[in-house]
Structure 1
Amino acid sequence: MKIVTAAALTLSLLAAAPAVAQTAASDWRTVAPENLLVIDTARGRILVELEPRMAPQAVNRIRTLADQGFYDGLKFHRVIPDFMAQTGDPMGTGQGGSQLPDLPGEFEFRRGRDAGFVPASSTPQGQAGLIGSVPVITQPDAQMMVTADFKAGAQGLFCTGVAGMARANSLDSANSQFFLMTGPKDELNGKYTPFGRVVAGMDVVRALKAGSEAQNGAVPDPDVMTRTRTAAALPEGERPTVRVATGAALRAEVERVRAARGAAFTVCDVQPPAEVVGG
């Protein structure tokens, strides 16, 4: 599936984010604790919404390793500004993984009408929009009428904030390493597994120590994940709650950003508004 060209979020769009207090309660959804990955670093906290509808095996692996404490103390060993920050390797070199078997690539998935897809734009390659907080490109709803499972094909897009599974040369070699996007990269679409998106803490991701271009992003003195758990595994008093815009509020945000970006608009420009409480 060919993917529509992505564009980066601009500072002016971020500065113009709408006030959330004026929207209806029904326009917000609370992220389930088991789908909220809490990454603590010396630079602050990063919250990632996991998306099991898109990549169930990858999400299960991230949950398992996080709640075992596997990621605690691991380095952000490869950080390239305006691209991504990679971590999850116990060796800290990009060559390691867990004792669990490698995972198959989850590059496409099946979307049902109950997925809550919010359209953003139409292209010759499909319809771009969001499922939860993750940008996707998908076949139109009409395709569901001619498929045996009443679903349409879809693929996650590697826009800013998207979390993806790192891998070796084999498409089926993802294990424990993952990366957080700090800029869009169309070249990754359909070749790496996207499993969620940062819903809070992008400023922290961007503040991580970066490597040099000459060293392919390798960081000589990297930041580390001091603690990484799903919110469900944290004591109740330490558990953050995240509400993300959905329904009419998310559709309104799509239209606001479309108007601001004009002809340059793509789904990668849309970051669903989110609120964090507690933790």
Structure 2
Amino acid sequence: MTVTKTGTAGRASFDRLRMSARGELVEPRALRVLSLLCGFCLLSVTILSQSTGPVIVVETSKGTFEFETYPTEAPRTVAHVVDLVKRRFYDGQRLHRALPGFLVQWGDPRSREAAREADWGRGAEASSGQPIGVSEMTKKRANTRGAVAMAHQGNPALADSQIYVTLADRPDLNGKYTVFGHVIAGDDVLPRLERGDSVVRMYLRQ
């Protein structure tokens, strides 16, 4: 058997070729392009995963729904709500507002008291007492169906613990409230909710 030596030019030409995943020969330039595309895809997935934060579970007397949060766009708001959830601030409250085709709302600690129903959702006591305002309001997140946002009583500076969820697209609310999340599960529960229904508990999904 005769062994033939490959010339310098031949070796250089061969070295420039590589095998693709399907066994096809590809040039290094193509490999670099594929590598860049893969890197871009991984970066996109990473960015998307980082754009959403803790998922909050809301158990009500009519069923359970969940919403994701947007800490990248509303870090202070998300941190505030997460803190209230961890402190069980919302547990045992009742919905003080439920308007078919519009929204459902809760977050007034006095709603646990049936005798004070006339005052639910109103006045300085209708919150946690730690207002954060709407400084994180952004046009990136609109009040589409299932949007979760911080409510306020006509004064944006008083946005605190009251949360609303839209039951339909409400562009008229855009630019007025901080949208910090969106319902991702159990949205069939929302239309069944009525004023006085209980928020049994809220917690972070593990």
Aligned with 2:129 (options 65, 82, 99): 99
Taking structure 1 as the reference length, what is the TM-score of the superposition?
Answer: 0.50
For structure 2, list consecutive stretches of 5 or more residues without a partner in the other structure.
1-43, 112-119
Taking structure 2 as the reference length, what is the TM-score of the superposition?
Answer: 0.67
Structure-2 change in CA distance of 1:83 and 1:107 (3 Å): farther
Aligned residue pairs total 151
Deviation string for 1:26-52 (max 9, x for gaps)? 98x779996100111122211000111
> How far does residue 56 in structure 1 lie from its aligned partner after superposition?
1.4
* 1:167-246 aligned within 5 A: 167-209=152-194, 219=195, 222-231=196-205, 239=206
Structure 2 match to 1:252: none
For the pair shown, the structure with the greater C-alpha radius of gyration is: 2
* Greater relative contact order (Cα < 8 A, sep 6+): 1
Give secondary structure in 2 for the equivalent of 1:57.
helix
Percentage of identical aligned residues: 31
* 1:72-87 aligned within 5 A: 72-87=91-106
RMSD: 2.4
Q: Distance in 2 between the 1:161 and 1:84 partners?
A: 9
Q: Distance in 2 between the 1:97 and 1:187 partners?
A: 24
Aligned with 1:68 (options 69, 80, 87): 87
For structure 1, list consecutive stretches of 5 or more residues without a partner in the other structure.
1-25, 110-153, 210-218, 232-238, 240-279
Give secondary structure in 2 for the equivalent of 1:155.
coil
Structure 1 match to 2:60: 41
Q: Does the CA-based 8 Å contact 1:34-1:230 persist in structure 2?
A: no
Q: Does the CA-based 8 Å contact 2:152-2:159 persist in structure 1?
A: yes
Q: Distance in 1 between the 2:156 and 2:129 partners?
A: 19
Q: Does the CA-based 8 Å contact 1:40-1:226 persist in structure 2?
A: yes
Q: Distance in 2 between the 1:185 and 1:202 partners?
A: 16
Q: Distance in 1 between the 2:50 and 2:60 partners?
A: 21
Q: Distance in 2 between the 1:230 and 1:34 partners?
A: 10
Q: Does the CA-based 8 Å contact 1:86-1:178 persist in structure 2?
A: yes
> How far does residue 229 in structure 1 lie from its aligned partner after superposition?
1.2
More strand by share: 1
Q: Point out 4+ residue stretches in structure 1 off by more than 4 angstroms.
A: 29-34
